[in-house]
Structure 1
Amino acid sequence: MIWVDNGGDGDSGKFDRVADIFRRQLGNDPAVGLMLVMFEGTPMPDSASREKAAALFNELGERFKCLDVVLLGGGFWASALRSAITGLGLMLRRQRTARVYTSIESAAEDAAELLGTGNAAEIAAACEDLSTRLTG
């Protein structure tokens, strides 16, 4: 699943919608993952969102193959989010931790390999398309 977050308030309501997609539409898929693209200035997810994310990813168990986060920005904003993502990775009771990238292409390569799709270009193109639609 690809989630492009171009801002907002960082509340857990957004994650409830994402969790619903994993449970319903992706409920029978043998391998699932989340690629989250965040633009500079997007607020850090609140603690309820981080706890819900860890609970969902643990619930998905071995089916959950990757949490790849793309931070499109830098400075203090990126450092703060990188710390929060590392914390989320520590909440996962699995060997697979959250990975942070600075480019969509790098994250797409990782996701394609771990999900067994072998088509990183298609994943990257979908992310770019969503990003363009959201940012105008």
Structure 2
Amino acid sequence: MTLTRRARPQALISLVPMIDVMLILLVFFMVTSTYLNLDMIPALHPAEGAAKPNAASSLRLMIRIQADGRPSLRGETLSPQDLNHILAQALAKDPLAQLVILPSSSASTQDLISIMDQSATAGVQNMRVLRLEARQ
């Protein structure tokens, strides 16, 4: 007498539970992670012992672009002639002076490009643009 066995059911591997777990982990890590805070980064003064990118230059100018597109230095609004004069004085003191431009969130890109062009025409070689995001 021959006995026939029933065929074993095929093991089904379902990826649905694994996808559910991965989505839960993704949401968990997105909610609990901390993001980069620019207030923690010294934008102008590198840490002690760190190699300075422009060690020969110690002169730094920080130009803010206001919402209306006009540049300001230390709270004073500058005309294009004033900006040229200040840049010329800074470059006379130190040809490798660093210019840091901080555009307002309301300033247009054209205002930023215009000030960068004006600075490059004045002879600035070391220029940086910093964009600070507001906290929410």
TM superposition score category, shorter chain reference:
0.3 to 0.5
Query: Rg bigger for which structure?
Result: 2
| TM-score calculated relative to the size of structure 2 | 0.41
| TM-score calculated relative to the size of structure 1 | 0.41
More helix, by proportion? 1
